[in-house]
């Protein structure tokens, strides 16, 4: 005999809309406290939740609430590997999500973005890079799904497309897509529909007010930096020009010597007296990891030295009381301050680099 909770889960496919609404409202909490109840009968509850998202993709208050609850439940459950694959490998469901995401008046677009961010943990989602679908004008002039998501993210920052959505969680989606070689190629290649390199649309958000955007974009930059062939484009001032956007969050309102200032990039000079350093240590550490990855080649190390990276990292080390950040500063400085091969005094390879702070 089924328990009351099992009966409640079965109400997800009840014929009465009001009962479905009551069921979804009451099951949100159980999606975190008792997630296994949703894996019954070969994931039938997950199938029901997918149908609720699709069937209630209409602009009616009660329908939107049912869909919102269903989406929140799926977000909470999608860290389970079995459920993740079941959702991510359903291409028809993915199209339903994209249809809602790109609808200028869909009120649950942020929840869609959250779910997509979780689904990007599946390798299957890299297929979105080549997925073509109907062009959702006036959002985009591209038929490529990834281009459309980028346009959602950019326009969401100012609320100019969907007043109910900021699309911030797409930053996490981009970060996971950037782990794939195909994703790294996409982000560093100008797209035909607007002739713009996608990553240049993201770098401007490294100091955005939204913590989610800043963290997601920082992670995207780091993951792309694992691609050494992309480093020339990342560092070129006429291409992606990533250094100012990575270094600026590391700067505060400290005063530098004239010598240090003159060595810095123009974007880092004469900052306002109220300039604040990034307050989230996770983001700061991520930017330091990106800079370290960019020192993989001699050209990258020279670029960071020429950009005045050292004094910025030095001040970050002094100002941020976080072990992870300070360790990141130490590693980066050791690379920047050491002699290159054939330069300076040769040292035994086992000799430790002296502390420079």
Q: DSSP secondary structure string, 127-164?
A: GGGS-B----TTT-S--BHHHHHHHHHHHHTTTSS-TT
Q: What is the pLDDT of residues 286-307, one digit of tens each?
A: 999 999 999 999 999 999 999 9
What tokens were used for 253? 């309102």
Cis ω for the linkage preceding 279 (within 30 of 0): no
| Residue matched to tokens 């109840």 | 37
**Is the CB of residue 48 less than 8 Å from the CB of residue 31?**
no
**Is the CB of residue 202 less than 8 Å from the CB of residue 218?**
no
Can you give the pLDDT at residue 343? 65
Threshold 0.75, pTM exceeds: yes
* Interior angle at CA 335, CA 329 and CA 341, nearest 5: 175
Tell which wins on pLDDT, 343 or 104.
Answer: 104
| Whole-angstrom distance, CA of residue 183 vs CA of residue 151 | 16
Element (H, E) at 299: helix 298-306
| Whole-angstrom distance, CA of residue 227 vs CA of residue 290 | 11
**CA distances from residue 134 to 89, 95, 102, 106, 232 in whole angstroms, order as listed:** 20, 10, 10, 17, 35
What tokens were used for 99? 């249809």
What tokens were used for 14? 């009840």
Can you give the pLDDT at residue 242? 97
Q: What is the pLDDT of residues 115-161, one digit of tens each?
A: 999 999 999 999 999 999 999 999 999 999 999 999 999 999 999 89
Residue 263: is its pLDDT beyond 90? no
Residue 352: is its pLDDT beyond 60? no
| Whole-angstrom distance, CA of residue 134 vs CA of residue 230 | 31
**Is the CB of residue 116 less than 8 Å from the CB of residue 128?**
no
What tokens were used for 112? 């869609």
| Whole-angstrom distance, CA of residue 189 vs CA of residue 198 | 7
Average of pLDDT values for 182-194? 97
Can you give the pLDDT at residue 59? 66
Can you give the pLDDT at residue 344? 57
Average of pLDDT values for 218-240? 97
């Amino acid at each position: 005999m089924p328990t009351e909770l099992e009966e409640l889960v079965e109400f997800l496919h009840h014929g009465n809309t009001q009962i479905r609404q009551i069921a979804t409202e009451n099951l949100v909490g159980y999606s975190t406290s008792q997630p296994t109840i949703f894996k019954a009968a070969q994931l039938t509850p997950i199938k029901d939740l997918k149908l609720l998202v699709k069937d209630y993709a209409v602009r009616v208050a009660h329908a939107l609430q049912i869909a919102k609850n269903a989406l929140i439940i799926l977000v909470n459950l999608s860290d389970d590997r079995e459920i993740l694959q079941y959702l991510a490998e359903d291409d028809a469901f993915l199209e339903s999500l994209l249809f809602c995401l790109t609808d200028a008046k869909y009120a649950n677009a942020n929840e869609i973005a959250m779910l997509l961010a979780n689904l990007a943990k599946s390798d299957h989602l890299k297929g979105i890079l080549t997925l073509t679908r109907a062009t959702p004008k006036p959002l985009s002039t591209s038929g490529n799904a990834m281009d459309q998501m980028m346009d959602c993210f950019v326009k969401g920052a100012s609320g100019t497309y969907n007043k109910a959505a900021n699309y911030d969680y797409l930053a996490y989606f981009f970060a996971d897509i950037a782990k794939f070689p195909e994703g790294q190629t996409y982000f560093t290649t100008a797209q035909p529909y607007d002739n713009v390199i996608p990553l240049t649309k993201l770098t401007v958000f490294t100091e955005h007010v939204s913590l989610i955007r800043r963290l997601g974009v920082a992670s995207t930059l780091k993951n792309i930096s694992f691609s050494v062939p992309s480093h020339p484009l990342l560092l070129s001032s006429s291409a992606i020009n990533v250094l100012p956007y990575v270094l600026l969050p590391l700067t505060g309102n400290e005063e530098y010597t004239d010598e240090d200032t003159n060595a810095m990039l123009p974007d880092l000079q004469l900052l306002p007296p109220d300039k604040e350093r990034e307050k989230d240590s996770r983001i700061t550490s991520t930017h330091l990891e990106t800079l370290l990855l960019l020192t993989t080649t001699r050209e990258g190390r020279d670029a960071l030295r020429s950009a005045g990276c050292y004094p910025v990292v030095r001040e970050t080390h002094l100002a941020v009381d976080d072990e992870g950040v300070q360790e990141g500063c130490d590693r980066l400085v050791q690379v920047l301050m050491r002699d290159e091969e054939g330069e300076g005094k040769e040292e035994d390879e086992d000799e430790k680099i002296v502390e420079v702070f």
